[in-house]
Structure 1
Amino acid sequence: MTRGPATPLPPPRERRRLRETAALTQAQLGTRVGVAPGTVRAWESGRTTPRGRKREAYAKLLATLAGEDPAGRATRAPEEEPDSGPVREAEPETTPETHAQPQPQPGPEAKPRPERAPEPQPQPDPQPQPVALTPAQAFDALYEFGAPALVRQTFLLTGRREQARESVERAFQAAWEHWPEVARDRDPVGWVRATAYEYALSPWQRFRPRHRHPEPPPADPGDRTLLNTLLRLPPRHRRTLVLYDGVGLDLPETAAETEASTPAAANRLLHAREAVADRLPALADPQVLHRRLAELASNERLRTTLPPTVRTVGERRNRFWTRAAIAFTVALIGTTTLTLRTAPTHYEPPVSPGKAVRGVPPRVVQGALSDEELELRRKLRDQMQDGPERLSPSLE
């Protein structure tokens, strides 16, 4: 049984624009579709994609919002004019001089000229056919293209070289694990960037032993001051500033990647710029700030691992955790089975502890028989113990 094609949806950025144009909050839109506001936020950021009935309801609601959007009606393509029928080729005009001009008649001695062979027309070069890449080759190309820049950007968020490199590698390993989804994404680098930023800014990083040992700061005093200023910003403000002024995303894309509304992202950006300008007045201009962030990230010598190594480490880690989960499940099943086999099937009351009984005389060993006892025993042995003779009367 085959499934029908999924209902098409607009890009995540267009979904967000349609909702904001209709003056709807994520909670209101989620109420209409029947999902939580966090699910709508994930749909608009491109993290997840709706499926099934939720996808149909969401697509229908977006189509309704797009029909009510005046900007959407203005961008519709104009209707094509109806055809006026087949177009006739232009006939060459004839003039009286053309009709009056006599045609030369070939004489008797005229010989036909030999016809020339047609010159070969140059054949156009065949268009090169696109070469289909394997998943590993496509992943390696994506890693070589985006990894160096992502490591530099993550360094601006953390101020630690090894943590930035590890965050990008973990993000690419997650992308390789979900490669079918990442390969179809409209912005795979953005998918990896969001994962790397979340891993780098995770609060659990501070509990790692590596975080206790500070790394050497940049050699240039200006770069050192700018990096310290960035690290003093709250993580959300720092991430918004790096995405907007460092990477160059626009405000809606920055808001979608940080999972915030556009006004909230704008407020974070303004507060971050004010905090940087208070300490470094020369960076009050956004263009100068963008250039200094690029220089700070480029001055550091940040290395990246080879793509095959990243894929191999990720696959090895997945195999390890899969086997650990299987072993834990088997151990749990074995423990449960042993408990069921050895556990009592009914209640057994506990045995009370023993107590010493007092007042009972001790057992005495039987001694030698007396004369009377010996006579009685002899008499009993001589008499018959059973038989009919025992019941017959006798005279003494």
Structure 2
Amino acid sequence: MTRSPATPLPPPKARRRLREAAALTQTQLATRVNVTRATIRAWESGRTAPRGRKREAYARLLKTLAEEDAARRTRSAPPPEPTPTPTPTPEPTPVLEPVSGPASDTASGPVSDPVSGPEKGSEPEPGSGSEPEPVPEPAPEHPALTPAQAFDALYEFSAPALVRQAYLLTGRRELARESVERAFQTAWERWPEVARDRDPVGWVRATAYEFALSPWQRFRPRHRQPEPPPADPGDRTLLNALLRLGPQHRRTLVLYDGVGLDLPETAAETEASTPAAANRLLHARETVAGRLPALADPRVLHQRLTELASAERLWAAKPTGVRKGGERRTRFRTRAAIAFTVALIGATALTVRTAPTHYEPAVSPGVAVRGVPPRVAPGSLSEAERELRQKLRDRLQDGPERLEPRLE
């Protein structure tokens, strides 16, 4: 499943070169694009790619930097030396010659075609002293590859080596194979971008390394159990020495001494400066040489890393299976997103349907009323209560007193 092509961008190395040529830091460039410095580092290393409006703004800024760089180069270039103006000579009068075609069929002698040469059976004119020059045959045209064929060719070319490199990083055969497959599945999802990349193998390698060295791998049940170590004691010792290094030091050592990248490329892929990458490389070499003094020579270390990666029986899946697995994963994520969206819409509609349409005031809390004697439990009356009852009975028995008018 491919996506529509987005705005083209220069390769990651060209992005970094344009920024450095303009004397801009990653922080300054991030401020102009309105992103973070870590995002610029990821874009320049090729690990991630900008999308949407950020991609458009980044592409416009890089185009502006490229134009400014070209203008600086033009100003700094020395002016060309003036060339002497040739003296004009009178042009000869053109002579009309017969042109091959229906109008020249009556012309004497055979007619030659300017592309395919003279006709069959034609002989050079006697006395001309020149033989007909052989016309080179046109080179066979190679048919354009489809996206699936180009992806399969890239996978078959680089997958076995990437699996061996991932094994040196993790020491786990299954995790190495899975990391490379996930990286290629991500590349197939972004194939228009990866196909135009200057180094597609480097793009996939950076993605595979990130997945292999992710700290979340330790929480997966399938990777908690240790795998059997290499059979050779020397390979086992070297692998243990590699795994004792930190992830960034191990990755720098594998890229420089294992893969053979130069120091700036190693720094760009590990998202570090060149001095930091050099310090990591020296520290990793020193640590490995402390356990295995025979590997103090970088050439011997490179040979031993190659032998360690080649000694294990590592395999990679077929490219067709990787593409189909990535498409299935994409369909699953799409369906999960649709299901979540539908559930969210349903919950929102249910809330709107059952919510009250008018304000209902809350019930006020109870307040103690004073002036009313509390109710007492039934029982014998006290002396004061009996006196009060007798007084009420005596006064209200005959009714209230009435006023009678009298004459004076």
State the TM-score, normalizing by the size of structure 2: 0.70
Which position in structure 2 is the counterpart of 1:272? 284
Which position in structure 1 is the counterpart of 2:183? 171
> Matches of 1:174 and 1:220 in 2, distance apart?
35
Which position in structure 2 is the counterpart of 1:363? none
Which position in structure 2 is the counterpart of 1:331? 343
The aligned amino acid for 2:260 is: G
User: Among residues 226, 231, 256, which one is paired with 1:244 in the alignment?
Assistant: 256
> Matches of 2:227 and 2:75 in 1, distance apart?
56
Cα separation, partners in 2 of 1:187 and 1:167, compared to 1, 3 Å: same
Question: Does the 8 A contact of 2:183 with 2:205 survive in 1?
Answer: yes
Which position in structure 2 is the counterpart of 1:234? 246
The aligned amino acid for 1:44 is: E
SS at match of 1:229: helix
Which position in structure 1 is the counterpart of 2:165? 153
Which position in structure 2 is the counterpart of 1:367? none
Deviation at 1:332, TM superposition (A): 1.5
Q: Does 1:44 align with 2:48?
A: no
Q: Aligned runs of 1:348-367 on 2, under 5 Å?
A: 349=362
Give the number of equivalent residue pairs: 320
Question: Does the 8 A contact of 1:15 with 1:62 survive in 2?
Answer: no
Which position in structure 2 is the counterpart of 1:56? 60
TM-superposition CA deviations, 1:288-316 (whole Å, max 9, x none): 11111111101111011001101111111
TM-superposition CA deviations, 1:257-299 (whole Å, max 9, x none): 1111111111111111111111111111111111111111011
SS at match of 2:242: helix
Deviation at 1:57, TM superposition (A): 3.3
Question: Does the 8 A contact of 2:18 with 2:62 survive in 1?
Answer: no
> Matches of 2:57 and 2:223 in 1, distance apart?
46
User: Among residues 337, 343, 360, which one is paired with 1:347 in the alignment?
Assistant: 360
Q: Aligned runs of 1:1-396 on 2, under 5 Å?
A: 11-17=11-17, 19=19, 25-31=25-31, 35-46=35-46, 47-48=48-49, 51-61=55-65, 64=68, 79=80, 82=83, 84-85=85-86, 117-118=123-124, 122-345=134-357, 346-347=359-360, 349=362
Which position in structure 2 is the counterpart of 1:382? none
Cα separation, partners in 2 of 1:122 and 1:22, compared to 1, 3 Å: closer
Question: Does the 8 A contact of 2:30 with 2:36 survive in 1?
Answer: yes
The aligned amino acid for 1:234 is: G
- Cα RMSD after superposing both structures: 3.3
Deviation at 1:128, TM superposition (A): 1.3
The aligned amino acid for 1:329 is: T
> Matches of 1:125 and 1:236 in 2, distance apart?
54
Question: Does the 8 A contact of 2:165 with 2:309 survive in 1?
Answer: yes
SS at match of 1:223: helix
Question: Does the 8 A contact of 2:45 with 2:268 survive in 1?
Answer: yes
> Matches of 2:344 and 2:123 in 1, distance apart?
88
TM-superposition CA deviations, 1:142-182 (whole Å, max 9, x none): 00001000000000000000000000000000000001000
Cα separation, partners in 2 of 1:80 and 1:307, compared to 1, 3 Å: farther
The more displaced of 171-180 and 20-29 is 20-29
> Matches of 1:77 and 1:292 in 2, distance apart?
50
The aligned amino acid for 1:260 is: A
> Matches of 1:320 and 1:11 in 2, distance apart?
31
Question: Does the 8 A contact of 2:169 with 2:212 survive in 1?
Answer: yes
Structure 2, unaligned runs of 5 or more: 1-5, 90-121, 125-130, 366-374, 376-408
The aligned amino acid for 2:123 is: A
Question: Does the 8 A contact of 2:18 with 2:65 survive in 1?
Answer: no
Deviation at 1:18, TM superposition (A): 5.6
> Matches of 1:65 and 1:175 in 2, distance apart?
31
> Matches of 2:212 and 2:324 in 1, distance apart?
22
Deviation at 1:55, TM superposition (A): 3.2
> Matches of 2:154 and 2:145 in 1, distance apart?
12
> Matches of 1:86 and 1:196 in 2, distance apart?
66
Question: Does the 8 A contact of 2:33 with 2:57 survive in 1?
Answer: no
Question: Does the 8 A contact of 2:181 with 2:322 survive in 1?
Answer: yes
Cα separation, partners in 2 of 1:261 and 1:318, compared to 1, 3 Å: same
Identity across aligned pairs (percent)?
71
TM-superposition CA deviations, 1:27-86 (whole Å, max 9, x none): 2443466543223313322343564344333443455467768xx988x69847636438
Structure 1, unaligned runs of 5 or more: 89-115, 353-357, 359-396
Between structure 1 and structure 2, the one with the greater Rg is 1
